[in-house]
Amino acid sequence: MKYGFSKRTVLSFENAITKVTEELKKEGFGVLTTIDVQETMKKKINVDFPKYVILGACNPPFAHKALQAEEELGLLLPCNLIVYEKEGKTNVAAFDPMVMTKIVENSALLPVAQEMKARLERVIAAV
């Protein structure tokens, strides 16, 4: 099952993180969490890992609608985006909110997921 959408960008790793954060803001999202996987792997298990950051993003009005429709949906929130390096290139990706509608059988989530997907696709396209 395809569960996200991604692209390679010409931006540096650091600039891609900044650009993703800026584009998320334009779409009504804030970044709640930033997980530096490279740093965590080194610190916790002394493993060298490529540059890889997970951004946990939230759009409060849409999160509110989704949680009203399905209170345990918080298990699938926030919306995760990643920025990582592979073969010297920077990649960005986002979780596809439509996947939630396949996991949770609740038709009230469909319009929320569709709008969230459209916004996240615009973020990725702009990076």
CB 77 within 8 A of CB 58: yes
The residues spanned by each domain of the chain are 4-126
Distance CA 89, CA 11 (A): 9
Q: Identify the CA nearest to 109 among candidates 76, 72, 79, 65.
A: 65
Domain 4-126 has CATH 3.30.310.70: yes
Burial class (CB in 10 A: 0-12, 13-18, 19+), 88: exposed
Mean pLDDT by 10 residues, the chain (127 residues): 94 98 98 98 98 98 95 95 97 97 93 97 98
Q: pLDDT digits over 36-67, tens only?
A: 999 999 999 999 999 999 999 999 999 999 99
pLDDT of residue 1: 72
Task: Please tell me the pTM assigned to this model.
Answer: 0.95
pLDDT of residue 94: 98
